[in-house]
Amino acid sequence: DPTSKILGQIEAGLAANPDMIMSKHFDLSYYNSLSDGLKARLLACCKSGAENHDSGVGVYAMQPSDYDDLKPYFDKVIRDYHKIPNEVKHVTNWDLATVADRLPAGGKLDLTKLGLGVTSMRVRVGRNLASYPLPGAMTKEDRLNMESDMVKVFKELIEDPAYGGNYYSLTPGSPYEVSEKFYQYLVKSHIMFKDMAADTYLASAGIASSWPFGRGCYVSADKGFIVWVGEEDHLRIMCMKKATVLNDVFDRLKSACDTMERICGNFAHSKSYGYVTSCPTNLGTGMRASVHIKIPKLTAGGSDAKAKAVARPLGLSIRGMGGEHTPIGADGTVDISPSARLQIQEAEIICALYEGIKNLMEEEKKA
């Protein structure tokens, strides 16, 4: 039967990969203490890691309430991944004035001060609507309804001269549907997300189901403000720019998120864990702030192993030029971002990116 099958897969996962966070914290006596309803919900959250023993985390929430309803399990998962020894206390704070001591004189996080020129910078947050299941548990109908709700929101933005732009849908038959060729162009331009059905972790979790129905993205007239619909979270809201001052993308995202929250209604939120996301790694701020920078010495030979080893103690993650699980650039360009998302404030993340760039560039010089 399916229940004993997945329990068997979890046990086998622990043997195959004792470090996987999902199986490490799966406690059979806790599982057995649950009602049938909560048992099924817990197993649904563990399915991705049960089927993919190479997962680092292996857990995705299916409902915004999973984090609180299954707290005895999720709290262990979250505190382990985010390395939080005590009770998680997350605070939202975008106000750069409160971190003035970490800002250079004048308050600008100016990359020219670090010896860089025009740099590709991006800040995104994951957000989910409180009114739908999380993507792993959405039916095709949920996905189409959510996209229709979002189209109404984007119509307001498109009519607003401050935003303008277009909505591009992958839904077959949608009035906003784009061609395969244009979709590939958007992916290459770092505007649109890649084919999720190819991601085995997302596929197992149900997050890639009904692809490409209900998927799309809004792009502002100047292409600097983008909202993904139907990826790992209901929404990924981001600002992107090729420039030199990090404040530009950060401040614009703050204002764009306020606009989105005002027109979308409240986003799913947990008292303990801040903004709710599908993957426990993104909880809290849901924020990833990144730049593309060239570190040819630390990536000599085309491998990112050394760069990752140097970046980890600096609190930085290294990704490839197409995002997570993609190769680094042939010229040694990588995507770097502060790893922390939870129990850190938004304003601290952007400072951590600036400090991280400085530290990594010093390591590059030494290498």
Has 79 been annotated as catalytic? no
Has 122 been annotated as catalytic? no
For the chain, the maximum distance between any two Cα atoms, rounded to a whole number of angstroms, is 64
**Near ligand ADP by CB under 6 A: residue from 25, 79, 124, 234:** 124
CA–CA separation, 334 vs 112, rounded Å? 18
Has 312 been annotated as catalytic? no
By CB under 6 A, residue 200 contacts ligand ADP: no
At 317, give phi and psi (nearest 5°): -105, 145
Q: Which does 291 bind (CB under 5 to 8 A by kind): ligand ADP, ligand CIR, none?
A: ligand ADP
Site string for ligand ADP, 331-350 (x = CB under 6 A): ----x---------------
Among candidate residues 17, 20, 19, 25, the one with its CA nearest the CA of residue 42: 25
Nearer of residues 43 and 226 to ligand ADP, judged by Cβ: 226
Set 143, 236, 252, 341: catalytic member: 236
Identify how many contiguous H helices and E strands the chain contains and give both numbers: 12, 10
DSSP 121: E
Residues 6+ apart with CB under 8 A from 29: none
Nearer of residues 25 and 252 to ligand CIR, judged by Cβ: 25
Q: Which does 158 bind (CB under 5 to 8 A by kind): ligand CIR, ligand ADP, none?
A: none
Q: Which of residues 92-121 bind ligand ADP (CB under 6 A)?
A: 120-121
Q: Looking at the chain, which runs of residues are DSSP E strands?
A: 119-127, 166-169, 216-219, 225-229, 235-243, 269-270, 274-275, 287-294, 316-319, 333-338
Beta bridge partners of 302: none
**Planar angle of CA 140, 39, 143, nearest 5 degrees:** 10
Q: Residues binding ligand ADP: what is the number (CB under 6 A)?
A: 17
Amino acid at site 61: A
Has 232 been annotated as catalytic? yes
246-264 vs 140-159: helix crossing angle, rounded to 10:
110
Amino acid at site 242: K
Tokens of 188: 């290459």
Asked if 261 and 179 touch (Cβ cutoff 8 Å), the reply is no
**Near ligand ADP by CB under 6 A: residue from 25, 79, 122, 341:** 122
**Near ligand ADP by CB under 6 A: residue from 24, 53, 71, 292:** 292
CB of 139 to ligand CIR, least distance (A): 22
Q: How far is CA 150 from the centre of its chain?
A: 19
By CB under 6 A, residue 205 contacts ligand ADP: no
CA–CA separation, 108 vs 252, rounded Å? 14
Nearer of residues 70 and 229 to ligand ADP, judged by Cβ: 229
Site string for ligand ADP, 138-177 (x = CB under 6 A): ----------------------------------------
Set 239, 279, 351, 364: catalytic member: 279
Q: Which does 43 bind (CB under 5 to 8 A by kind): ligand ADP, ligand CIR, none?
A: none
Binding footprint of ligand CIR on the chain (CB under 6 A): 48, 55-58, 201, 279, 281
By CB under 6 A, residue 222 contacts ligand ADP: no
Interacting span for ligand ADP (CB under 6 A) from 40-48, 78-86, 261-269, 315-323: 315-323
By CB under 6 A, residue 319 contacts ligand ADP: yes
CA–CA separation, 338 vs 330, rounded Å? 23
Neighbours of 144 (CB within 10 A): 17
Residues near ligand ADP (CB under 6 A) are 120-122, 124, 190, 236, 240, 288, 290-292, 319, 321-324, 335
Catalytic residues: 124, 232, 236, 279, 281, 288, 319, 324
